[in-house]
Structure 1
């Protein structure tokens, strides 16, 4: 027996070593304070379900005015709160806008209360106090002790199923509340209609239609309990229960159908001390039948620990696609938490049978690929999707397929701008699906119809009625007196047009190449040589007067000012630098950006302009600046890129509730951290080059989907040795400041030799 077990144990040890348990370094609580807008609950990589606690319910409007507090709760959870309202099944991760929060469940004991109460007086409702000392947040698992009902709540998930486990004390009557009113964004008025059907004594189905950020969103659910409930009921808070024959019944108690805009239902149980009541709730974009099928397929049993183990095994598999070495526990926590956040969005949007509801509100089938939603493209085109092209190429190709399907279902014939749940929110500017598609095609990750994708890009870019595009096409700029944020739009359109030109050239569409390469030069039309800044122009061609390059609002910009946006020409860095006075003057501009001190007046009134995400006037918390530190490479001063990168890594990221210097924005902030820690960054997606920086790890091994590995090996690494002295690629000295995508995908080793003093290793 001993001879048999020895090789068996060796096999297990080898397998464990091959898939290191890096979950210990993942801290989902990171970013849950201030503006990080992440959530601590349970999800699987790119899962449709995000099962997480809500710590408050904030109305979108108060006294007829926008309530700024709603911005705090984009993810439903704020670390500084003292109470939990319940656990809902859908959440955004790190966004600057709110929605979702579907199907809130809350276990309670004692006399039934059907209102949530308030944070100041939780005893007036089903809300409960909690302590972070009794809270555990891991990848794929969440646990918290609810003080008032004395219930231990545990959560895990599959892709489409949220799995709850509640341990009751057994001393009082036990209830499970299903709150169909609760949501994130607009608590009182978001629901269009909700419906609950009691199928039997342990299974519930239904749906919810909402009009929040997404105007027409319908989510179906199927919910089952591990033991039969003894009774149930509901209360309608809008007095609009569907009439007709239903009024002949007592609809509030044990009636099998419930409908209305604002419904809360409850289910009563007898429990013994220490007894666990388990709940599985599956969601579907199509039907309750689809939700039941999702539930039975993904979570057929009641073994909570097995589902938890399966969820965490998925995370271990994905996180081990990059294995780093570092003597710093904080570095490992930063890195793997960033990996975790990067692999949450976009989210799966289809049933297990491939069916999903499209933008046209019809049911479609993917016929083999995974359909995704939650495309925060103004953020994620910059680093997240390039990261996927490197580490998750198959998924990214499916994301492109999802974007093209969105285009074909769109009445406007537009690629997605900011979309989720079969809705286009039209949030932010540009048409950055184009960048994602171009980056995939130019890097050889295009197992889809590239010509069809290019046609979608071109049609989108010619849409004259979209956000000033008609002015842009006619004039080469957008008049600020006709369209706000005009400079930002021109610069981002010009970049997207360059992306289209690259794909057109690759696919031998010379006519399209000439059209869009010309459009890509439009950035020049908003540059004012007199001030040295990009500046808004008016309908008569003149530059706008009363220009303040430090101000964002009413100055032609969005989420950035002229100091930052004047550097946004990633497609033509050399031309931009020459236009702005040459390398020396441009480097001085960069120096000033990082070292100036902004007066308090620029932080006064808007929640997205705070000192948390800013170094000098460099705004890391907003994405238009994410490439800026790498521009020093183009001024002949690469050591300044290296110094700035390491400074930003230290100042903007740490493992803790307040560990993000701004919204994570569906993984973009995290993707910046990952790339920059590895020592290279995609300054211009759509090109196949990465800018080299200063790696912050001792070693990293990238497990590529093509079966090869690419290793970053760093010599003399330390917090003081931030300057690159020498670079070798596969043992040969590398004099370039860039590395190509092909160089990485071919596998091999890049070696950085570090030191404490600046050096231009290219000479």
Structure 2
């Protein structure tokens, strides 16, 4: 009887612990500071999932730091914040997450006390400007919330946000010299002349509206704002500029710098003065943005945050994050892995970002105002990065959003002069950054995986148009010759390989839609990689327009060899759509496995690290560069050989060394969630090697267990037996209780709500 009672009590305790764990808040596993040091390029500020506003501190903005040449200091500030910096310049409302290029940083606000200063100063001489020192001991961040004490002013600054509105809460000391600075010149694109025009209008003693037009990475970008304070300001003004900066004309008769209701010019820094008594309620400010108009910004504010309850906004934002993070529920053996997993989920859901007013209007690529009909319009498509794993992840856990993202791409194509899908676009602009036309990969992957909500035929037609736009990066020569010649277009081998993959993605679409003639045409084009493979050297290498190989050739060099963000060792393995053929080109399985082994074990000579803008020692294992995306699929290529076990220890090594629970814990910039999506897939135990295929390659899971509640009401479950830090090799895999004999699963297995069970051991299962 006692034994039965004990067993029953143990059962109740176990059930209670499991129930408690299932109800545990997942946002507490998110650390927004991960990736804010060194190369991660993430920001720690407040935002909601896919939000238009990313309200975050900037520790420097590096104004006009260089002119048409690389400067590593600029690269450091792509997200505006570096963890090791000692000062904060202010809090701006728009940021990229994890990108390798800078822009945005709109509408920087900074509360100050004492003598008014309207220049930011420098990190070495902060007292000459409005910036403030700060300490990480008095700084914290959570999803949808950030707070810091500005040491020089004894001000506690807190930030939260909704989709289109940033909310500030400033707790001032007693003073009759309180200020809030609004800097319309600050930004995160370091070229002189970024500001084309700015405008500011004082609507009343607590409401300000305006806009900012910039010429930066996006060559013509206009963002409107409405700023409302919870307390009237006693006076206001702006920094005086000469005629070169503010057109005066007949306006010259007025003192526009002091209590004048509107100001226009290229460079405006405004200030708003307040008195504060001891113990007075904090000052709250709401900054709403719009791509269309100040009226739109005001309407967004009224719809999303019509009140002054900061804590309510914070709680609502965190509820949104809790819902999104719950789309994958995992249990990990190591608590740090839980933090890494859910921080990766957090970073994966920061973008692309909503780009339209609450009423559905937005500014399009043609600079006209459009209405999003029956879809949410998104912007900031870092497609060269995110087509690989982020969008495939969305096809499991964010299907409706991914369909809307594709609709946004199709709208972009409709507004394009030549009907091109986006390459790297943001804020109604095409940046033409990076290579390939990888929107077609995103579309193909969604289509073949059964994602609904977009016009499939329209998507195929837009993909075909894009693939035949001959002015783009050597496509004309690629169509005529089957490859991009290096003497006509740089990075020619990378382009050829990526075009070949994208053409395969188009063939997958056409095949899915039953259009065999198109499918056949693009399957043929997808063999373009064969034209740049040199059987003598065993590497992909640049070819000239006369059909000869470019000399000299160095497979380890990243410069002048026909590659971008990689070398021939990396890109020679970039044929994700046809691994079997690649193995044949490289001399068969034995030779291919030796190539993979060497990639991970070789030591790069020091001279190849000299050009730090392309390659650094961080993010590298041997010659495998995890910090640059072309290698992300490579470790899974072992699955196409008889030695898939060779991937397992390498996957776990990447998971442990390239992702850590610290500000410098990312082994490369996160690239709008691609690095994080790689972690999520690989921690779960499978990866989409070739988006556009329904197949996933099996790896070595880091999770103890996982469950994914699916949009169709089913649940996909992962169970790992004998999981442990030294148990990195997969002994056997069972799908719904039946052992599988190939290291692959299908998308339908996931969506049918299967159970995937891994059995692990500490030695290779040969």
Say whether the fold is shared (TM-score over 0.5). Answer: yes
1:430 to 436, 444, 447: 436
SS in 2 for 1:390: helix
Is 2:394 the partner of 1:388? yes
SS in 2 for 1:706: coil
The CA deviation string for residues 465-484 of structure 1, in whole angstroms up to 9 with x for no partner, is 11000110000111111111
Is the Cα–Cα contact under 8 Å of residues 19 and 316 in structure 1 kept in the other structure? no
**Structure 2 CA distance for partners of 1:238 and 1:298, relative to 1, 3 Å:** farther
Partner of 1:572: 578
Aligned partners of 1:745, 1:629: CA distance in 2, in Å? 25
Partner of 2:14: none
1:504 to 507, 510, 513: 510
Is 2:148 the partner of 1:173? no
Is the Cα–Cα contact under 8 Å of residues 282 and 294 in structure 1 kept in the other structure? yes
2:154 to 150, 155, 178: 150
Partner of 2:331: 325
The CA deviation string for residues 258-300 of structure 1, in whole angstroms up to 9 with x for no partner, is 1100010000001122431110000000000000000010011
SS in 2 for 1:571: coil
Give the gaps of 5 or more residues in structure 1.
1-12
Aligned residues: 749
SS in 2 for 1:487: helix
Aligned partners of 2:328, 2:538: CA distance in 1, in Å? 42
Aligned partners of 2:406, 2:175: CA distance in 1, in Å? 54
Is the Cα–Cα contact under 8 Å of residues 181 and 188 in structure 1 kept in the other structure? no
2:210 to 193, 206, 225: 206
Partner of 2:364: 358
**Structure 2 CA distance for partners of 1:530 and 1:236, relative to 1, 3 Å:** farther
Aligned partners of 2:709, 2:207: CA distance in 1, in Å? 43
Partner of 1:264: 269
Is 2:561 the partner of 1:555? yes
SS in 1 for 2:204: coil
Partner of 1:630: 636
Q: Quote how far apart the aligned CAs of 1:251 are.
A: 1.0
Partner of 2:9: none
Is the Cα–Cα contact under 8 Å of residues 36 and 663 in structure 2 kept in the other structure? yes
Aligned partners of 2:72, 2:279: CA distance in 1, in Å? 42
Partner of 1:651: 657
Aligned partners of 1:270, 1:688: CA distance in 2, in Å? 63
Partner of 1:248: 253
Q: Quote how far apart the aligned CAs of 1:64 are.
A: 7.4
Aligned partners of 1:521, 1:327: CA distance in 2, in Å? 44
Partner of 1:20: 24
Aligned partners of 1:302, 1:447: CA distance in 2, in Å? 37
Q: Quote how far apart the aligned CAs of 1:396 are.
A: 0.3
Aligned partners of 1:506, 1:371: CA distance in 2, in Å? 26
Q: Quote how far apart the aligned CAs of 1:244 are.
A: 3.9
Is 2:129 the partner of 1:117? no
SS in 1 for 2:758: strand
2:86 to 64, 82, 86: 82
Aligned partners of 1:649, 1:515: CA distance in 2, in Å? 39
TM-score, normalization by structure 1: 0.97
Greater shift after overlay, 47-56 or 509-518?
A: 509-518
SS in 2 for 1:750: strand
> Which structure 2 residues correspond to residues 46-85 of structure 1 after superposition, within 5 A?
46-62=50-66, 65-85=69-89
TM-score, normalization by structure 2: 0.96
SS in 2 for 1:173: strand
**Structure 2 CA distance for partners of 1:128 and 1:586, relative to 1, 3 Å:** same
Q: Quote how far apart the aligned CAs of 1:608 are.
A: 3.1
Is the Cα–Cα contact under 8 Å of residues 66 and 191 in structure 2 kept in the other structure? no
**Structure 2 CA distance for partners of 1:563 and 1:134, relative to 1, 3 Å:** same
Is the Cα–Cα contact under 8 Å of residues 36 and 83 in structure 2 kept in the other structure? yes
1:279 to 277, 285, 290: 285
Aligned partners of 1:727, 1:586: CA distance in 2, in Å? 25
Aligned partners of 1:507, 1:60: CA distance in 2, in Å? 50
Partner of 2:33: 29
1:480 to 486, 500, 503: 486
Q: Quote how far apart the aligned CAs of 1:68 are.
A: 3.0
**Structure 2 CA distance for partners of 1:188 and 1:505, relative to 1, 3 Å:** same
Partner of 1:457: 463
Partner of 1:190: 194
Aligned partners of 1:687, 1:669: CA distance in 2, in Å? 20
Aligned partners of 2:367, 2:240: CA distance in 1, in Å? 28
Aligned partners of 1:555, 1:238: CA distance in 2, in Å? 49
The CA deviation string for residues 46-79 of structure 1, in whole angstroms up to 9 with x for no partner, is 0000000010121344477543311110000001
SS in 2 for 1:162: strand
The CA deviation string for residues 369-398 of structure 1, in whole angstroms up to 9 with x for no partner, is 110001000000000000000110000000
Partner of 2:543: 537
Give the gaps of 5 or more residues in structure 2.
1-16
**Structure 2 CA distance for partners of 1:60 and 1:247, relative to 1, 3 Å:** closer
**Structure 2 CA distance for partners of 1:141 and 1:414, relative to 1, 3 Å:** same
Aligned partners of 1:16, 1:194: CA distance in 2, in Å? 52
> Which structure 2 residues correspond to residues 694-705 of structure 1 after superposition, within 5 A?
694-705=700-711
Partner of 1:126: 130
Partner of 2:221: 217
Partner of 1:341: 347
The CA deviation string for residues 495-535 of structure 1, in whole angstroms up to 9 with x for no partner, is 00000001111112222112111100110000000000001
1:107 to 104, 108, 111: 111
Is the Cα–Cα contact under 8 Å of residues 567 and 628 in structure 1 kept in the other structure? yes
Is the Cα–Cα contact under 8 Å of residues 359 and 410 in structure 1 kept in the other structure? yes
SS in 1 for 2:295: helix
SS in 2 for 1:548: coil
Is the Cα–Cα contact under 8 Å of residues 694 and 723 in structure 1 kept in the other structure? yes
Greater shift after overlay, 488-497 or 500-509?
A: 500-509
**Structure 2 CA distance for partners of 1:183 and 1:736, relative to 1, 3 Å:** same
SS in 2 for 1:99: coil
Q: Quote how far apart the aligned CAs of 1:236 are.
A: 4.3
The CA deviation string for residues 291-313 of structure 1, in whole angstroms up to 9 with x for no partner, is 00000100111010110000111
Partner of 2:522: 516
Partner of 1:5: none
2:295 to 289, 299, 308: 289
Partner of 1:676: 682
Aligned partners of 2:284, 2:188: CA distance in 1, in Å? 25
Is the Cα–Cα contact under 8 Å of residues 533 and 549 in structure 1 kept in the other structure? yes
Is 2:754 the partner of 1:741? no
Q: Quote how far apart the aligned CAs of 1:603 are.
A: 0.8
Is the Cα–Cα contact under 8 Å of residues 109 and 181 in structure 2 kept in the other structure? yes
Q: Quote how far apart the aligned CAs of 1:117 are.
A: 0.7
**Structure 2 CA distance for partners of 1:166 and 1:16, relative to 1, 3 Å:** farther
The CA deviation string for residues 82-124 of structure 1, in whole angstroms up to 9 with x for no partner, is 0000000000000000000000000000011111111011001
SS in 2 for 1:405: helix
Aligned partners of 2:727, 2:29: CA distance in 1, in Å? 24
Partner of 1:710: 716
Q: Quote how far apart the aligned CAs of 1:704 are.
A: 1.1
